[in-house]
């Protein structure tokens, strides 16, 4: 068991500090590793998530744990031209720096604003967004229930919440192959490329212990979301969750 898993058991504040440092350390290789380790499927997963978000003209969205802003950029591309606004929030300043560079290079700085902050205490007023997204981030939050409540709070009535997260396949044969890749090969490749000793060991450990499917759907319902549903993508290695704020 690595240090990050020990910190998760001990204190949320310590976990936040460790995860924040980890993501700052791997930020320069983050995009490359996402493409490489997912065999390019990460683009497909984001497109599916934004399609479910269904951005309309004049709407404003919040991307929590925005990382290098891939989801935020996809929302802007999917929405009507120059009429959708996105705020991306992340607690890693290094990630935000790289995100800003990417946004500037694609000429989307008029559509996307970045802000430092944590999911457990979003720095926004109540009912100010038409939709919220988070892609592969909620598993890393120190307080998942509080983060869901915060996303619910900042949504307008009728607002949409879309969440992407990893899971283990339910099929026993697929699960065996996937665990071999996820728990043995991926950490070695990730460690070699990122030069970080534990980041890509932390990933499979948190996936294995995180609530998924019905259990996570129940957490969304407890936070107030209605019409909660989930869909398995790529043989169940990723789950797409959706929910609405009560009108």
Q: What is the DSSP string of the chain?
A: --HHHHHHHH-HHHHHHHHHHHHHHHHHHHHHHHHHHTTTHHHHHHHHHHHHH---TT-EEEEET-TTSHHHHHHHHHSSTT--EEEEEES-HHHHHHHHHHHHHTT-TTTEEEEE--GGG-SS-TT-EEEEEEES-GGG-S-HHHHHHHHHHHEEEEEEEEEEEE---SSHHHHHHHHHIIIIIHHHHHHHHH--SSHHHHHHHHHHHS--THHHHHHHHHTT-EEEEEEEEGGGTEEEEEEE---
| pTM of the full structure | 0.89
Mean pLDDT of 63-71: 96
> For residue 241, is pLDDT > 90?
yes
> For residue 126, is pLDDT > 80?
yes
Confidence of residue 178 (pLDDT cuts 50, 70, 90): confident
- The domain segmentation of the chain, as residue ranges, is 3-244
CATH number (3.40.630.10, 3.30.750.210, 3.40.50.150, 3.30.200.20) of 3-244 reads 3.40.50.150
> For residue 24, is pLDDT > 90?
no
The pLDDT value recorded for residue 66 is: 97
pLDDT digits (tens, 9 = 90+) for 198-227: 767 877 888 888 999 999 999 999 999 999
> For residue 6, is pLDDT > 70?
no
């Amino acid at each position: 068991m690595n240090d990050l898993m020990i910190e998760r058991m001990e204190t949320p504040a310590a976990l936040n500090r460790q995860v924040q440092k980890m993501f700052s350390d791997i930020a320069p290789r983050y995009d490359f590793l996402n493409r490489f380790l997912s065999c390019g499927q990460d683009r497909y997963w984001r497109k599916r998530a934004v399609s479910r978000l269904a951005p309309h003209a004049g709407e404003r969205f919040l991307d929590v744990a925005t990382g290098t802003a891939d989801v935020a950029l996809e929302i802007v591309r999917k929405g009507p031209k120059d009429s959708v606004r996105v705020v991306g929030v992340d607690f890693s300043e290094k990630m935000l720096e790289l995100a800003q560079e990417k946004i500037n290079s694609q000429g989307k700085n008029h559509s996307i604003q970045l802000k430092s902050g944590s999911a457990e205490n979003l720095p926004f007023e109540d009912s100010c967004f038409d939709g919220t997204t988070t892609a592969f981030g909620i598993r890393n939050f120190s307080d998942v229930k509080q983060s869901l409540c915060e996303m619910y709070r900042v949504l307008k009535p009728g607002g949409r919440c879309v969440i992407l997260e990893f899971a283990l396949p339910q099929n026993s044969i697929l699960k065996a192959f996937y665990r071999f890749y996820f728990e043995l090969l991926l950490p070695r490749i990730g460690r070699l490329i990122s030069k970080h000793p534990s980041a890509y060991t932390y990933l499979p450990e948190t996936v294995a212990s995180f609530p998924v499917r019905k259990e996570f759907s129940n957490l969304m319902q407890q936070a107030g979301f209605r019409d909660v549903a989930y869909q398995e993508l790529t043989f169940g290695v990723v789950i797409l969750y959706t929910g609405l704020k009560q009108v």
